[in-house]
Structure 1
Amino acid sequence: MHLTLRQLQIFLAVAQTGSTTAAAALVALSQSATSAALNELESQLALRLFDRVGKKLILNDSGRVLLPQARQLLDAAAHIEQQFQVSDPLSAAGLRIGASTTIGSYLLPAIFAAAFSRAARAYPRVTIANTAQIVTAISNVEVDLGLLEGPTDDPDLVLLPWIDDELVIVAAPDHPILSGDTGSTIAIDALQAAGWLLRESGSGTRETVDQALRPHLPGLRSVGEFGNSEAVKHGAAEGLGLACLSRCVVSDLIGLGRLVELRTALPVLRRQFYLAHSRHKILSPRLRHFLTFCQGWVR
């Protein structure tokens, strides 16, 4: 048996797209060459990897077993190439970073500016999504390192506590809950009765808000869910509802007077950010350097 990395690359492309025609575009081959390579792989393994449903190719149980192994082998091969192409551990070439939305939007640019030389003209490729999506990407070795806004119980991940983040409750200055007095302490029953703008399910911020507020506000009333914190922030500034967001997200509009931080009887709301990578991940010198830098970074 002589399996090749090219065969595994084609297998992954077919698994991702569901057809040899679409996969051919990803791997820069003709459809016939892609189909032939997949047939050869299945012949060498003496089993089918996909169920043929009309024109759609769907992974079967054998294909699902091969999928994570193929990803790991191709990931290892890519790191071997990178290791010998660039010897500078300070280079960001080839790194793939995944970040939860708040971290990716508000902290990662400053981290990159401090970690990498601006003369290098090469920064990591970044995927920004909600925490649940980044956890999946780390587990599938689609990103090398994840910066998460909440913990995960995924057994395939190495989870490293990182930095603390403070969440604050904000509203527009003319929101009725303030009654014209931006310095007053807001009662729990007033918070209970108010409408709230929330992040979508799967977001690290949403999970933290649920865990922190619902014990005190069991009937937390959502008047809108948004896929990113910017939309929540600006919605709150327009008076659409209250919001509970990271201080780093709302500090600009608080400074401009478009949002007010509410004083409440609730305890201080804090959460832990995490660094995470797959247990199967090969940590290259570049990745180790960036991981160490992040661990020592202070905002």
Structure 2
Amino acid sequence: MDQSLLVFVTVAEKGSFTRTAEELHMTQPAVSQYVQMLEKSAGAKLLDRTNKYVRLTKAGEIVYHHAKEILGLYTRMDTLVADLMQVASGPVSIGASFTFGEYALPHMIADMLEEYPLIGPTITIGNTAEICGALLSHELDVGIIEGDYKHDKLYVTPFAEDAMELIVSSKHPFASAAPDFIVSTGEMPGETWIVRESGSGTREASDRWFESLGFMPRSMMAFGSTQLIKESVEAGLGVTLLSRMSVRKELQLGTLKAVKAAGTPVKRNFSLVTHAAPYHTKAVQVFIACLQNGSWSR
């Protein structure tokens, strides 16, 4: 591993030569020497340094961004080589969409750790755009997204189908209608629709559904959390289109109702996203196998 890159990234993140020396167990002059070596190699000043602060220059921002990616690749390489002689163990950094990450992934992780207790998963929850961006910058080993995503440096493989339905409060007039009642397209525009933020797979599915039915809601609120949407619908603020998986408990308790509507259920895929590189650590391979065998759905 290029020590000068590690030192430079640590200085940028700690904002201090002194704290970097403490973190990396070296002297402050040694930290300065590594930074100077990197600046000489880059042919540009990378840090603005005063008695009060240490800040990245414009050139420093470019080097920092690429240094993070390079260090991530170094770590991945070392782990793959060490993996050849070891059982499945070590870290797995997982990025997951809100729906799958919050309502299915915990059960799958629990099952996986029963058989592979030496694997150490870390989970980041985000929308599709955030997860794929983190994969591209090598901050994650694997991602799980809602819907589709295309990038020449990522493999996107659907592994399960999800069903989304019109969800309303148990006190909403739609909920009290007869069981065979179907909400018509003409009744939908007048409702306040509570949707996810742009960049979310759930929002993408909702927008496609609106478009397929030929209307856009006159009143719409966008929230960045599925839990917040559920609470808002339950409070009577509006209606929503959500995965049945994400409202399983509320449907059992009767606080929310899934009602039939034109064009529902809306089908979409959950997809596995990995780097285009052909190698994965054994820990990542085990995670992918558990995901594809459907243990999370039990």
TM bucket normalised to smaller: 0.7 to 0.9
CA-to-aligned-CA distance 1:108-134 (integer Å, 9 cap, x gap): 111112222278275411111122111
| 1:6 positional shift | 2.6
Question: Following the alignment from structure 2 to structure 1, what is the Cα–Cα distance between the partners of residues 210 and 57?
Answer: 42
Aligned length: 290
Change (3 A) 1:151 1:49: farther
Q: 1: distance between equivalents of 2:217 and 2:264?
A: 16
Taking structure 1 as the reference length, the TM-score comes to: 0.84
Report which stretch shifted further, 272-281 or 142-151.
272-281
Alpha carbons of 1:267 and 1:122: their partners in 2 closer, same or farther (altered >3 Å)? closer
Q: CA deviation at 1:98?
A: 1.2
Are 1:72 and 1:280, in contact at CA under 8 Å, matched by a contact in 2? no
1:151–1:15 distance in 2 versus 1, CA, 3 Å: farther
2:163 to 150, 163, 166: 166
Moved more, 239-248 or 285-294: 285-294
Quote the Cα distance in structure 2 between the aligned partners of 1:200 and 1:295.
Answer: 28
- Per-residue CA deviation, residues 135-157 of structure 1 (Å, 9 max, x unaligned), is 11111111111111122122211
Partner of 1:110: 107
Q: Distance in 2 between matches of 1:205 and 1:168?
A: 11
Which whole-Å CA distance do the structure 1 matches of 2:27 and 2:12 have between them? 17
Note if contact 2:210-2:216 (Cα within 8 Å) is conserved in structure 1. no
Counting only pairs closer than 5 Å after superposition, residues 1-299 of structure 1 correspond to structure 2 as 4-14=1-11, 27=24, 33-43=30-40, 45-48=41-44, 50=46, 52=48, 55-60=54-59, 63=63, 67-81=68-82, 83=83, 87-89=86-88, 91=89, 93-117=90-114, 120=117, 123-178=120-175, 180-181=176-177, 183=179, 184-280=181-277, 282-298=279-295, 299=297
Conservation of the 8 A alpha-carbon contact between 1:42 and 1:48:
yes
Aligned partners of 2:194 and 2:221 also within 8 Å: yes
Deviation at 1:14, TM superposition (A): 4.6
**Structure 2-normalised TM-score?**
0.84
The alignment-based identity, stated in percent, is 26
Residues 136 and 153, structure 2, Cα contact 8 Å, conserved in 1: yes
Task: Report deviation, 1:208.
Answer: 1.5
Looking at structure 2, the residues matched to 182 and 21 of structure 1 have their Cα atoms a distance apart, in angstroms, of: 70
The separation in 2 between residues aligned to 1:203 and 1:99, in whole angstroms, is 11
- 5+ residue gaps, structure 2, are none
Deviation readout 1:149-178 (Å, 9 max, x if unpaired): 122122211111111111111101222445
Cα distance change on mapping 1:138 and 1:119 into 2, 3 Å: closer
Summarize the Cα distance change of 1:9–1:194 in structure 2 as closer, same or farther, 3 Å threshold. Answer: same
For 2:131, give the aligned amino acid.
Answer: I
Contact 1:173 1:182 in 2 (8 A): no
Residues 194 and 220 of structure 2 are in contact (CA less than 8 Å); yes or no, is this contact kept in structure 1?
yes
How far, CA to CA, are the matches of 2:10 and 2:259 in structure 1? 50
AA of the residue aligned to 1:190: E
Q: CA RMSD in A?
A: 2.9
Residue 281 of structure 1: CA displacement? 6.9
Consecutive unaligned residues of structure 1, counting only runs of 5 or more, are none
Cα distance in 1 between the residues matched to 2:192 and 2:121: 39
